[in-house]
Amino acid sequence: RKAVPKHPQITTAARTKLACFPASVLVFIVDNLDRPLLLRRPGQPGWEVVSSSLQAGESVPEAVERAVREHAGAGFQGVFLGVLDTFTFVFDANLPAAVTICTLMRHRGGELRPGREVRDAEFRWWALTDLDQIDLAVPRARWELLTKAGDMARALRDARPEEHTRLDEPDRDGERDWR
């Protein structure tokens, strides 16, 4: 087994050495019922959240916005709720461990139109009661993050109920949506 490469270092003006890390974002998107949106690519095992590497000069919210646009389409609207978790992960034996920033977004409307990279993928909103049935590929076996995303989204909604009033018409599942 090949050893994981060491992180390159940079030196600040004060001569402090800092490790450089590749970085990625995972976007846990929940709907108004706190159900997570996952995708499954053809020919690949498991379900995954929207994800992308950070590009040079890009902020975390900018990377989230780009990843969602590339995966779900320009018309898919969401609100960035914040950082859910972080961890390091070796995803390529030729690179040092990457810093992974798990973010939370609530879907606010607009049609899902998968981008070129995922145009043949299956997208699904998962019921919270079915989370234990998911073969989760990205992030690998981190089901607790799906639960945490739903819990955090619900807590944020409940903290500001005036911003989330029910609509009069039930949605296609017979539930009333939050707005």
Q: Identify whether the C-beta of residue 49 lies closer than 8 Å to the C-beta of residue 67.
A: no
Mean pLDDT over residues 72-98, rounded? Answer: 90
**Could you tell me what percent of the chain has a pLDDT over 90?**
60
Q: Identify whether the C-beta of residue 101 lies closer than 8 Å to the C-beta of residue 23.
A: yes
Omega before 139 within 30 of 0, i.e. cis: yes
pTM of the model: 0.83
pLDDT above 50: residue 165: no
- Best CA proximity match to 58, nearest among 69, 73, 72, 47: 69
Contacts of 50 (CB under 8 A, 6+ apart): 26, 27, 29, 37, 39, 67, 68, 71, 72
- Best CA proximity match to 52, nearest among 22, 80, 90: 22
**pLDDT at residue 171 in the model:** 46
Of 25-34, 35-44, 105-114, 141-150, the one with minimum mean pLDDT is 141-150
Helix (H) or strand (E) holding 66: helix 60-72
Q: For 114-155, how does the pLDDT look when each residue is reduced to its tens digit (9 = 90+)?
A: 998 899 999 999 998 898 888 999 888 788 899 999 999 999
